[in-house]
Amino acid sequence: MSSPHPAATGHGPVRNDWQHDEVHALFALPFNDLLFEAQRVHRMHFSPSEVQIATLLSIKTGACPEDCAYCPQSIRYHTGLEPERLMPVQDVVAQAEAARDAGATRFCMGAAYRSPKDRDLETIIEMIREVKALGMETCATLGMLKPEQASRLSDAGLDYYNHNIDTSPRHYKDIIGTRTFGDRMETLHNVRTAGINVCCGGIVGMGETLGDRVEMLRILANLPEHPQSVPINQLIRVPGTPLEDAEPVDPFDFVRTIAVARILMPHSHVRLSAGRTEMSDEMQALCFLAGANSVFYGDKLLTTDNPDEHHDHRLFKRLGIRPEPVHHST
Ligand code: SAM
Ligand code: DTB
Ligand code: SF4
């Protein structure tokens, strides 16, 4: 076997100074060497057969003023989605309870906002309090946040905030015209400063180059702190969105992206996120081998399909995967 590339440094302190060429060199490793290194790093920090189970709920659906080219919830595209107002608190709590009873330990509430209005934030804060009281970790994704909004969510006890960089700064401009990459970084700063754990990742399959994937992961790994959760989504090509005909991703390149994320951010949960309905069980197993240790569980993501619970249950059983117990440290 050829020895791992010297850039594949699983030893030593966590790094925030990755260079483009080093990350590129990881992507360029022979597949087996990359997977071996990712699995080695994974085993240094995590139990190899534990996967964290998170469930998503769209608490406010569609009619979003942003123009994200991948998103079925933008008001600009005709995707046949029925918009829905912010859900009542009790309905959200009932869904969280059902998710908990099905085995989820984290509940992520998603809203199709550019940024939340203060009045809506009040209602969402109530949701956070009540979902936490069920013993679950809470996560929200509500678009851009001002510092005081992040503080209010932190005071309410929100555990995680999801805000993805989605792609490289260069490619971002081709995908989203209504906000900048810098806006994204500013909200991440506000969330971190408020003491909320960061969930931040991106999408593979939006016509990006290898260099864009390198930059996306490099920027995530060079944030002042590694995001505690790193969702890696495979684009769901929703009819009616500008990316409906995007070139499908080579499954091995998707697995490579997971593996590089694992090596760069050794302590983070790397989530195999959107796109699992298009993946074979064997491909998902490779993603777990590459260091993915979190999934969205339940037959819906926000507006699109996710594998049904029965299928996932069977897959986990076939692979000997156990759900990771909830950690109440944050
Ligand atoms: N509006 C908020 C925002 O943009 O941050 C929160 C919800 S938004 C739907 C959350 C994330 O979902 C996006 O950043 C993107 O990574 C992911 N996403 C949306 N549509 C997707 C699709 N068709 N395929 C894969 N991921 C998608
Ligand atoms: C993330 O990175 N992926 C999730 C979650 N964070 C909010 C969302 C995926 C959405 C897929 C398209 C949909 O269901 O609308
Ligand atoms: Fe709106 Fe978020 Fe969808 Fe962009 S990704 S259109 S901000 S819901």
Residue-wise pLDDT for 236-295, tens only, equals 999 999 999 999 999 999 999 999 999 999 999 999 999 999 999 999 999 999 999 999
57 lines ligand 2 (CB under 6 A): no
Q: List, by residue number, the catalytic residues.
A: 64, 68, 71, 108, 139, 199, 271
Which residue, by CA, sits nearest to atom 1 of ligand 2?
A: 231
Average pLDDT, the chain: 93
Smallest CA-to-CA distance from 242 within 90, 72, 122, 100 is with: 72
The SS3 call for residue 214 is helix
Closest atom of ligand 1 relative to the 201 alpha carbon: 16
Burial of 327 (0-12, 13-18, 19+ CB in 10 A): exposed
| Ligand 2 centroid – CA 236 distance (Å) | 9
233 lines ligand 3 (CB under 6 A): no
Q: Which two tokens stand for residue 90?
A: 């009790």
Please report the pLDDT score of residue 10 as a whole number. 44
Q: Which two tokens stand for residue 279?
A: 């993946």
Confidence band (pLDDT; 50, 70, 90) for 210?
very high
State how far the alpha carbon of 53 is from the alpha carbons of 189, 196, 224, 287, 330, in Å: 26, 20, 26, 15, 17
Which residue, by CA, sits nearest to atom 9 of ligand 2?
A: 274
What is the pTM (predicted TM-score) of this model?
A: 0.93
Smallest CA-to-CA distance from 27 within 210, 212, 231, 222 is with: 210
138 lines ligand 2 (CB under 6 A): no
Q: Which is more confident, 103 or 13?
A: 103
Strand residues in 215-254 grouped as ranges (E)? 229-234
Closest atom of ligand 3 relative to the 71 alpha carbon: 3
d(CA 43, CA 304): 33
Angle at CA of residue 119, ends 115 and 123, nearest 5°: 95
Tell me if 184 sits within 8 A of 163, measured CB to CB: yes
Confidence band (pLDDT; 50, 70, 90) for 12?
low
Please report the pLDDT score of residue 9 as a whole number. 44
Smallest CA-to-CA distance from 191 within 138, 233, 153 is with: 153
Confidence band (pLDDT; 50, 70, 90) for 6?
very low
Angle at CA of residue 255, ends 180 and 70, nearest 5°: 35
Confidence band (pLDDT; 50, 70, 90) for 230?
very high
Q: Which two tokens stand for residue 111?
A: 């809203």
